[in-house]
A and B are shown apart, each in its own frame.
Chain A
Amino acid sequence: MNTDKNVGRPISRLEGREKVTGAARYAAEHPLEGLLHGYVVSSPITKGKIVEIDTTEAMAIPGVVDILSHLNRPKLAWFDLQYTDMDAPPGTVFKPLYDENILYNGQPVALVVARDFETARYASTRIVLRYQQEPHQTCLEKHLDKARAPKKGLATALKPPPPPPTGDFENAFENAAVKVSATYHHGTEHHNPIELFATTTLYQGDGKLTIYDKTQGTINNQLFIANVFGLHYKDVRVLAPFVGGAFGSGLRPQYQLFLCVMAALHLKSHVRVVLDRKQMFSFSHRPPAVQQMHFATDINGKLTALGHNTLAETSNFEDYTEPTSNWSHKLYPAPNTLFEHKVVPLDVYTPMDMRAPGGSTALHAIECTMDELAYKLKIDPLELRLLNYSDVDPSAGKPYTSKALRECYLEAAAKFGWDKRIAEPRSMQRGNKLVGYGMATGIWDAFQFPSRVQIMINSEGKMVVDNATTDIGTGTLTVMTQIAADELGLEMADVEFRYGDSKKPFSMFQGGSAITSSTGVAIVVAARSMRKKLLKKAAEMEGSPFRKAKEEEVVFSSGHIHLKNDPTVKISLKDIIAFNKGAAIKTTKMGRPHMLKLRKYSLATHSASFVEVEVDRDLGTITLTRAVTAVAAGKIINPKTAKSQILGSMVWGISKALHEESIMDPQLGKYINANLGEYHIPVHADIGELEVIFADEKDSLINELGTKGVGEIGLVGMPAAISNAIYHATGKRIYKLPIHFDELI
């Protein structure tokens, strides 16, 4: 880094003004002359075949332009491979309107296209659809006997299967001094960003398409559309300047994109397709899971055996897996381990990554089991963690590039007032409320993806930085602008970061808490090259004081190159570009993880969450009164937006522990609470006092910036901390999420 003027400062979101004035336009908000409106018809049955689609009445409604189904859709790509995407799990990709087969409830079976939204929606109710139903299986708990090993594929690279067994787990567990066995049950969750999934396709008429899409990956969706519809990728441009939340649901191209583009190409018109809230429950979810835990310690509390077996739902067409059973041994050393992860294929849509996939589910089970052990051992739960603390990753036998988890534990405990906890359950109260303290650990990946960035210095001496990433509300625009400004010693106002556009240089989708480290590092690498170019050009200028200057002898600040030992000697970037005949100087570089060096290390973010709950003695109602989460995630580029990421994911932790769940009716094979009235997420009144601490964690190994990403880690420890607090308050251990008041009466 050249200077550290902006990085590390709590700068307000640069797009804030657009977001508070309504000027920010999301995928469904781009007005086009003659725009047609598509409305999706969803299957009311769960499994079987469509035997008849009668559109006579619907087509006769004035304003209806077309109704597309598998019977009359345009010819499509034939090979499954052409439908694949960067986040596709192993299996056969779901192809909308492909044939008469119904694979899951809510599957899109037709698209009504009309001149206005209301007519399209009305016409969708006048289509007569006849089905032949077949028996279905949609309940995980009922079909655990179907569990099998998941298939492996490309996506397995980011989601490795659990490590092989070590020692002699069965013997060690059988003969252990202290042990806990427990089975945890987790329900289905849906991402439910408040923005509905939507696509607006601008049909340009010259073989080119411009697509405003709700996505976390502009290039992922660009390539998908090019492959499926046989277009050159250069003729497809996907734009996502503003994304109204996604939380993983935008990692894969969703069916509204496919249907919208298909209709636009077929009708040679601009088309918009927006899903309704019920349909937001029809394309991806966090899978329900059953986790069997077997942890044991010696009489002093040292872990001797770790067993974690996960059975999780997937669809009948793709094998979705998320790392669950992998985590305990990354935190705690134990000589004997046995980890398994199996999938149960059911007649549902394929599950998908949802904020902290696997980790948030697994750490709940792991950290509640640790809590149970602590009570059995009569050791403070925090003491038990510290007793089993490891600076290395026991599962890989490698050191972490950095690990300030101990600092997280101690700083959060002190801030929270953990020392005021009375160990015995049901021993603390406030009026008619039982008060409980609970804590838990969080751990999450520190990913970095390859990312390509173009930097340009224009004739005004200003910096333009291009990358295809989105900003789904994470603060990417602000953070990248901070990094770029410091790299060339410019004011943030003199830097423009352009993003959310598949035409920009390559970025993976925005997921895995990876973009700050991915695009951020690419900016560092490209800026290094730009500094060289600018110095070289400056040296060519007539009478240049930089003729013999080496890179390490100059500094970039205030829009100039200066000599380090005599800062009064300087040339402005604007003058360099003028000398270049006004032509902008550009460079494009790839940032990538240092695989060879990093092979010797494990990479992770860590957190510690401490929570206080109140439980009403008579009604069992649970109130989260306060929580403190300390996070160790390397360097924090922007403490303001990073804090919001942690606060937001703490709210997600509260939601997972106490509120949200999609209820599957196994008779009907569908979610019966597919709306925001019955799918509960926390409202303002549900949120107590939340505090965030960033532990000081310097990481000179992980990447050029020393960053690890903060999008998910704040969620991971919260559900267990809440469950443990509820146990402390009530003496009741609830082995499922979400926990409801009726379970505590």
Chain B
Amino acid sequence: METDPQHPHPQGMETHLITLKINGKQHSTNIRPWVSLLDCLRDHLDLTGTKKGCDHGQCGACTVICDGKRILSCLSLAVMKDGAEITTVEGIATKNGLHPLQQAFIDHDAFQCGYCTPGQLCSALGLLSEGRASSREEVKELMSGNLCRCGANVGIIDAIMQVKDGGSDE
């Protein structure tokens, strides 16, 4: 088979053993370098809470927290994150129950279909720990990478503001 540098052929593509610490648990998996972190989570580790909405970094549904920062898991290859510590929506709740932000999302009806919700939650947790946003306007601006097609925007921002002002950022 001829080789074409523009189109890497999977025949020569080796798998790599990577380890990810996800939601406090070590996961080791053999993975090819062309698998995104998003597809690794969803298809290889059955952590389907993290959503695929565009696969292009345009919608925010795939947001996870990686080494303390919110990132778009569709724009990262899993092999780049070997050794990283990742929090997905499945890991937000505490032993005692839902995280205050999760409860605030329910209380404020901050979702309808629920598909963008994991990304909104992870992004909001990232935002709260960044400590950059002080006003409602700033929260809106810094959450604007996460699209919601159901139009639950008001509820989402209300929920984040409640947790932010209540100081329940754990």
- Is B84 in contact with chain A by the CB < 8 A criterion? no
Give, as a whole number of angstroms, the nearest-CB distance from B88 to chain A. Answer: 7
A244 to B146, CA, bound (A): 15
Q: Does A405 reach chain B (CB closer than 8 Å)?
A: no
The verdict on B54 contacting chain A, using a C-beta distance below 8 Å, is yes
Chain B residues, Cβ within 8 Å of A685: 137, 140-141, 144
Chain A residues lying within 8 Å of B149, measured Cβ to Cβ, are 192-194, 245, 247, 681
Cβ of A647 and Cβ of B151 under 8 Å apart? yes
- In the complex, whether A581 has a CB less than 8 A from a CB of chain B is no
B35 at the interface (CB under 8 A from A): yes
When distances are taken between beta carbons in the complex, the residues of chain A under 8 Å from B116 are 194
Contact of B106 among A12, A62, A246 (CB under 8 A): A12
* A22 engages B50 (CB within 8 Å): yes
B143 part of interface (Cβ distance < 8 Å): yes
Q: Count residues on chain A whose CB falls below 8 Å from chain B CBs.
A: 68
Partner of A472, one of B35, B105, B113, B151: B113
Q: Contacts A647-B152, A651-B153; is A684 near B140 (CB within 8 Å)? A: yes
B109 and A644 contacting across the interface, CB-CB below 8 Å: yes
Judge whether B16 is part of the interface by a CB distance below 8 angstroms.
no
- Chain A residues in 8 Å Cβ range of B155: 644, 647
Complex Cα distance, B105 from A641, in Å, reads 13
Inter-chain contacts of A647 with B (CB < 8 A) = 151-155
User: Considering only CB atoms, which chain B residue lies closest to A689 in the complex?
Assistant: B154
Task: Give the residue name and chain of the B residue nearest to A640 (CB).
Answer: B109
Q: What residue of chain A has the Cβ atom nearest to residue B90's Cβ?
A: A22
Known: A21-B90, A684-B144. A126 touches B109 (CB 8 A): no
- Please, which residues of chain B bring their CB within 8 A of the CB of A247? 149
A251 to B21, CA, bound (A): 41
Q: Any chain B CB within 8 A of the CB of A20?
A: yes
* Chain A, Cβ-Cβ closest to B156: A684
B53 touches A676 (CB 8 A): yes
Q: Mark B45-73, 1 if CB is under 8 A from A, else 0.
A: 01111111111101101000000000000
> What's the least CB distance linking B139 to chain A, in Å?
8
Chain B residue numbers with a CB within 8 Å of A684 are 139-141, 143-144, 146, 148, 153, 156-157
Identity of the chain B residue whose Cβ is nearest the Cβ of A126 in the assembled complex: B7
B113: chain A residues within 8 A (beta carbon): 193-195, 242-246, 472-473
Question: Which residue of A is nearest B102, CB measured?
Answer: A20
Residue-wise interface mask of B (124-149) relative to A, using a CB-CB cutoff of 8 A (1 in contact, 0 not): 00000000000001011101111111
Q: Is the CB of A682 within 8 A of B52?
A: no
Of the candidates A25, A243, A277, A648, the one whose C-beta lies within 8 Å of that of B152 is A648
> For residue A277, which residues in chain B have a CB less than 8 angstroms away from its CB?
53-56, 58
Asked if residues A196 and B153 are in contact (CB atoms below 8 Å), the reply is: no
For A18, A20, A274, A640, which residue has the most chain B Cβ atoms within 10 angstroms?
Answer: A20
A242 to B155, CA, bound (A): 20
Flag if B106 contacts A20 (CB, 8 Å).
yes
Q: Cβ of A276: which chain B residues have Cβ within 8 Å of it?
A: 55
Question: Does A122 lie at the interface of the complex (its beta carbon under 8 Å from any beta carbon of B)?
Answer: yes
Q: Give Cα A304 to B129, complex, Å.
A: 62
Interface string of B77-95 (1 = CB under 8 A from A): 0000000000011101100
Q: Are B114 and A21 in contact (CB under 8 A)?
A: no
Let me know if A687 is at the binding interface, CB within 8 A.
yes
Kindly state whether residue A517 has any CB partner on chain B within 8 Å.
Answer: no
Let me know if B150 is at the binding interface, CB within 8 A.
Answer: yes
Interface centre among B47, B54, B59 (most CB of A within 10 A): B54
Q: Is A29 an interface residue (CB 8 A)?
A: yes
- B11 proximal to A (CB < 8 A): yes
Contact of A22 among B52, B89, B112 (CB under 8 A): B89
- Cβ-defined partner of A117 (8 Å) among B10, B39, B48: B39
Known: A194-B147, A647-B154, A685-B144. Contact between A21 and B89, CB under 8 A? yes
- A687, B154: Cβ atoms under 8 Å? yes
Chain B hits for A640, CB < 8 A: 109
Please, which residues of chain B bring their CB within 8 A of the CB of A245?
112-113, 115, 149-150
Chain B contacts of A681 at CB under 8 A?
A: 147, 149
Please report which residues of chain A, range 567-589, place their CB below 8 angstroms from some CB of chain B when the two chains form the complex. none
B170 at the interface (CB under 8 A from A): no
A715 CB, nearest partner CB in chain B, Å: 9
CB of A475, distance to nearest CB on chain B (Å) = 8
Q: How far is the CA of A23 from the CA of B117 in the complex (A)?
A: 12
Given contacts A13-B109, A16-B106, A118-B39, contact A676 B153 (CB under 8 A): no
Instruction: Assess whether A652 is in contact with B153, with CB atoms less than 8 Å apart.
Output: no
A459-478 contact mask (Cβ, 8 Å, vs B): 1 or 0: 00000000000001111000
In the complex, A276→B52 CA distance in Å? Answer: 9
Q: Is the CB of B49 within 8 A of A23?
A: yes
Cross-interface CB contact of A687 among B1, B39, B112, B140, cutoff 8 Å = B140
Residue in B closest to A638 when the chains form the complex, CB atoms: B109
In the complex, which residues of chain A have a beta carbon less than 8 angstroms from the beta carbon of B1?
Answer: 60
A650 at the interface (CB under 8 A from B): yes
Residues in chain B near residue A644, CB distance under 8 A: 109, 112, 150, 152, 155
Collect the chain A residues with CB atoms within 8 Å of residue B139's CB: 684
Measured between beta carbons, the chain A residues less than 8 angstroms from B7 are 122, 125-126
* A686 neighbours in B (Cβ, 8 Å): 144
Whether A128 sits at the interface, judged by CB under 8 Å, is no
Q: Establish whether residues B53 and A473, one from each chain, have CB atoms under 8 Å apart when the complex forms.
A: no
Contact A194 B115 (CB under 8 A): yes
On chain A, the residues within 8 Å of B137 by CB distance are 685
Say yes or no: is B43 at the interface (Cβ < 8 Å to chain A): yes
Residues of B within 8 A of A675 (CB): 54, 56, 58
Given B9, B112, B153, which contacts A682 in the complex, CB threshold below 8 Å? B153
* A242 vs B49: C-alpha distance when bound (angstroms): 12
Distance in angstroms between the alpha carbons of A26 and B48 in the assembled complex: 9
| Chain B residue, CB-CB nearest to A35 | B43
Closest to A192 in B: B149
Q: Does A643 contact B (CB under 8 A)?
A: yes
With A12-B106, A24-B114 known as contacts, the answer to whether A61 contacts B148 (CB < 8 A) is: no
Residue A643 contacts which of B48, B109, B143 (CB distance < 8 angstroms)? B109
How long is the Cα–Cα vector from A640 to B39 in the complex, in angstroms?
A: 35
User: Chain B residue with minimal CB distance to A14?
Assistant: B106
The A654-703 residues at the B interface (CB cut-off 8 A) are 675-677, 681-687, 690
Q: Is B169 an interface residue (CB 8 A)?
A: no
Chain A nearest Cβ from B73, distance in angstroms: 13
Checking B9, B111, B117, B151 against A649 with a beta-carbon cut-off of 8 angstroms, the contacting residue is: B151
Interfacial residues, chain B to chain A (CB-CB below 8 A): 1, 7, 9-11, 32, 34-35, 39, 42-43, 46-56, 58-59, 61, 88-90, 92-93, 98, 102, 105-107, 109, 111-118, 121, 137, 139-141, 143-157
Binding site for B on A (CB under 8 A): 12-13, 15-26, 28-29, 31, 60-63, 116-119, 122, 125-126, 192-196, 242-247, 274, 276-277, 472-475, 640-641, 643-645, 647-652, 675-677, 681-687, 690
Q: Which 5 A-B pairs have the closest CB atoms?
A: A22-B49, A651-B151, A244-B115, A473-B113, A19-B114
16 cross-chain CB contacts under 8 A:
A16-B111, A19-B114, A23-B49, A29-B42, A61-B9, A62-B11, A194-B116, A194-B147, A244-B51, A244-B114, A676-B54, A676-B56, A676-B58, A676-B147, A687-B153, A690-B154
Other than the given A20-B89, A685-B144, 17 more pairs (CB < 8 A) read A12-B109, A16-B105, A21-B92, A61-B10, A117-B39, A122-B10, A126-B7, A193-B149, A194-B113, A195-B115, A196-B52, A244-B51, A244-B113, A245-B112, A245-B115, A676-B147, A682-B153
